[in-house]
Amino acid sequence: MNIAVVGATGAVGETIVQVLRERKIPAERLGLFASHARNGVLETSSEALEPFDTVFFAGSDEASSQFVPPILERGGVVIDNSSTYRMRADVPLVVPEINAASILPDHRLFPVGNCTAIILCMALAPVRDTVGLKLVNVATYQAVSGAGRGPLEEFDAGKGAFIRNVVPLIGEFGDDGYSGEETKVRDETRKILDLPSLPLYATTVRVPVRTAHSEAVFFETECEAPVEALAQALERAPGVVLHREGVVTPREVEGTDDVHVARLRYAGDDKRHFQMWVVGDQLRKGAATNAVQILELLIARGPR
Ligand X SMILES: NC(=O)c1ccc[n+]([C@@H]2O[C@H](COP(=O)([O-])OP(=O)(O)OC[C@H]3O[C@@H](n4cnc5c(N)ncnc54)[C@H](OP(=O)(O)O)[C@@H]3O)[C@@H](O)[C@H]2O)c1
Q: How far is the CB of 37 from ligand X (least distance, A)?
A: 9
- List the x/- string, 58-77, binding to ligand X by CB under 6 A: xxx-xx--------------
Decide if residue 54 touches ligand X (CB under 6 A).
no
Are 94 and 88 in contact, with CB atoms under 8 Å apart? no
The sign of the CA dihedral 290, 293, 297, 302 is positive
What is the number of other CB atoms lying within 10 angstroms of the CB of residue 117?
Answer: 28
CA 293 to chain centre: 12
Among 16, 17, 20, 34, contact with ligand X (rule: CB under 6 A) = 34
Binding mask 120-159 for ligand X (x = CB under 6 A): -------------------------xx-xxx---------
95 binds ligand X (CB under 6 A): no
Query: Rounded to the nearest whole angstrom, what is the least distance from the CB of residue 121 to ligand X in the complex?
Result: 14
Name every residue whose Cβ is closer than 8 Å to that of residue 47 and which is 6 or more positions away in sequence.
none
Q: Which of 213, 243, 260, 273 is catalytic?
A: 213
CA 274 → CA 10, 139, 282, 283, distances in Å? 37, 14, 24, 28
Does the protein bind ligand X through residue 287 (CB under 6 A)?
yes
Q: Is 36 a catalytic residue?
A: no
Q: Is residue 2 close enough to count as binding ligand X by CB under 6 A?
A: no
In the residue annotation, 115 being an active-site residue is answered as yes
Q: Which of 94, 283, 292, 298 binds ligand X (CB under 6 A)?
A: 283
Residue 44 in contact with ligand X, rule: CB under 6 A:
yes
* Per CB under 6 A, 9 contacts ligand X: yes
Q: What is the DSSP string of 235-281?
A: HHSTTEEE-SSS---HHHHTT---EEEEEEEE-SS-TTEEEEEEEE-
Q: Are 137 and 112 in contact (CB under 8 A)?
A: no
Residue 233 in the binding site for ligand X (CB under 6 A): no
Which residues does 126 contact at the CB level (< 8 Å), separation at least 6?
A: 230, 233, 234, 236, 237, 240
- Please say which residue, 83 or 221, places its beta carbon nearer to ligand X: 83
Residues that bind ligand X (CB under 6 A): 6-13, 34-36, 44, 58-60, 62-63, 81-82, 115, 145-146, 148-150, 282-283, 286-287
